[in-house]
Structure 1
Amino acid sequence: MWKSIFKSNIIVALIFSVCLWFGFSIPALALGGIQPTLNEPAPEFSLPSNGGNGEVSLDDFRGKWVVVYFYPQDFTPGCTLEAQRFQRDLAEYEKRNTQIVGISVDDVQSHEDFCDSEGLKFPLLADTDGKVSKAYGSWLTGRSLRHTYIVNPEGVLVAKFLGVRPVIHSQEVLATLDELQVS
């Protein structure tokens, strides 16, 4: 009996590891918080940022659309691809009056190195204790999950993406912004 339980736990751990490695999140496993509700005020945050900008708060972007994306770790393949795609499309986001903000548990120095390495021109915030990740339901065993949220200019959460595929994600977010900004 114990062998059976042990084997099933190993299988679950392997499946979860493969999902994280390839950039898929499993929303049901977001154990460290409850997903925020759409059409309600987005959870506030104030976190240290790369680039010597001090603390960055959601309130700093009032009057703009904000894409808040959570990711597991700097310099990993899926996270690098996702950040590169957001950077590639940054001019399109700016045309839509939209700020990109990345959040992970990595510290400010890691974010600084990651931005330098990838040429990223948007802020990455250090949620080293996971408090903000938990507030957004994007937390699992010491890491942020790969989730993205869109906050409107009034600070209301209007869209969320829980099954993120880094290679196409930025284009999905832009399409959703277009739909939201027309309505």
Structure 2
Amino acid sequence: MKEEAIKVGDKAPDFELERQDGGFFRLYETLREKNVVLYFYPKDSTPGCTKQACEFRDQYEVFEQQGAEVVGVSSDSVESHQRFEQVYKLPFTLISDKGGSIRKLFGVPKKLGLLPGRVTYIIDREGIVRYVFNSMSKPLEHVSTALEVLREINSEAHHHKV
């Protein structure tokens, strides 16, 4: 039975995975305080993934200003993530989805049936998926699109408070 892919408007499934620093990342714990930009990517230190990670790094302060935490997920080991983080000075969480179980939980598609896909989910503090961006070939657009969506979420929240 194929798992249904998570779509906009769905509640994101909670999960817990090991972070590159050896601690644990729990989705709903983070959502208590922030929106989460959860991005699945194929592999540490490959060209597209490096570009994407560095772009998230360069825009990280803007994500913080938008009240969001950036979390990268791949099947690489914690050690691989540590190297990736150190070489590129990545300020955000990388989590190790060893058997690909979280990828399955979200229904992240594979490219050509082989490569783990590159998909970004934007999850608001209610746990609702607000946006899904699926593009293997445009690693940088994941970052700019995520920021646009966060700005929208925040302006809505602002209007509700008034």
TM range (shorter): 0.7 to 0.9
Percentage of pairs with the same residue: 34
1:90 to 39, 43, 60: 60
Output the TM-score relative to the length of structure 1.
0.77
Q: What is aligned with 1:157?
A: 129
| SS of the residue 2:61 aligns to | helix
Deviations 1:5-50 (A, max 9, x none): xxxxxxxxxxxxxxxxxxxxxxxxxxx7432132221011111110
Match of 1:117 among 69, 87, 93: 87
Deviation at 1:142, TM superposition (A): 6.4
Query: Residues 143 and 131 (structure 1 numbering): CA distance in 2 closer, same or farther, change over 3 Å?
Result: farther
Structure with higher Rg: it is 1
Q: Distance in 2 between matches of 1:71 and 1:45?
A: 17
The structure carrying a bigger strand percent of its residues is 2
2:24 aligned residue (36, 42, 55): 55
2:118 counterpart of 1:146 = yes
- Please tell me the root mean square deviation across aligned C-alpha atoms, in Å: 1.8
SS of residue matched to 1:41: coil
Could you say which residue in structure 1 is the equivalent of 2:101? Answer: 131
**CA contact 1:65–1:150 (8 Å) conserved in 2:** yes
Q: Number of aligned residue pairs: give it.
A: 152
What TM-score do the two structures reach when normalised by structure 2? 0.87
Q: Distance in 2 between matches of 1:167 and 1:64?
A: 22
Cα distance in 2 between the residues matched to 1:50 and 1:166: 21
- Secondary structure at 1:35 match in 2: coil
Which ranges of structure 1 fall in alignment gaps of 5 or more residues?
1-31
Partner amino acid, structure 2, of 1:57 = R
TM alignment of 1:165-176, pairs within 5 A: 165-176=138-149
